[in-house]
């Protein structure tokens, strides 16, 4: 499959990485505070619709200090051990010499294949890692890229079966 057909997925992956590493908004919320319905307007830019829904219905949320969520030890060790030998196939559709861990832990912004490597890192991430990741919530563009042909957003449920 030509790389052009994968472009929407690659761009989505890059956006996900940028949004993940960008510092989050603070808006006057500090560790130790409790958020309830009375502060909903203040925290709305910081929370997801589902959190807004439960706060609006009476739930409370205690704010805690942010802390990094690290990789499992075995995944980190495998990355350190094997990442140097991983190569991207010329067509970008497979990895060569991959054994375990994150295939490309160090990314160069000037590398023309960086977007493809980001997506391989996404594919071989430690799963699920945290409770805020939902595999089936990653939409994919489906259909032909030819002018006049139909395309649609599709949510793949294959991994949920």
pLDDT of residue 70: 80
pLDDT value of residue 17 = 56
In sequence order, the β-bridge partners of residue 143 are 151
Positions of the chain with pLDDT under 70: 1-27, 127-161
pLDDT in tens, 105-120: 999 999 999 999 999 9
Two structure tokens written together for 21: 């590493």
Based on DSSP, count helices (H) and strands (E) in the chain, helices before strands: 5, 6
pTM (predicted TM-score): 0.49
Residues with Cβ within 8 Å of 91's Cβ and at least 6 positions away in sequence, in order, are: 3
A 10 A CB-CB count for 101 gives 20
């Amino acid at each position: 499959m030509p790389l052009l057909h994968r472009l929407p997925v690659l761009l989505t992956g890059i956006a996900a990485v940028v949004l993940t590493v960008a510092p989050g908004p603070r808006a006057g919320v500090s560790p130790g505070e409790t958020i309830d319905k009375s502060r909903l307007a203040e925290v709305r830019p910081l929370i997801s619709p589902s959190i807004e829904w439960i706060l609006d219905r009476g739930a409370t949320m205690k704010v805690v200090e942010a802390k990094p969520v690290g990789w499992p030890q075995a995944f980190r060790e495998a990355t350190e051990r094997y990442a140097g030998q991983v190569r991207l196939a010329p067509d970008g559709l497979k990895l060569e010499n991959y054994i375990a861990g994150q295939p490309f832990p160090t990314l160069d912004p000037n590398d023309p294949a960086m977007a493809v490597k980001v997506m391989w890192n996404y594919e071989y991430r430690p799963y699920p890692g945290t409770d805020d990741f939902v595999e089936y919530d990653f939409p994919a563009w489906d259909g032909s890229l030819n002018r006049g042909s139909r395309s649609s957003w599709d949510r793949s449920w294959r991994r949920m079966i």
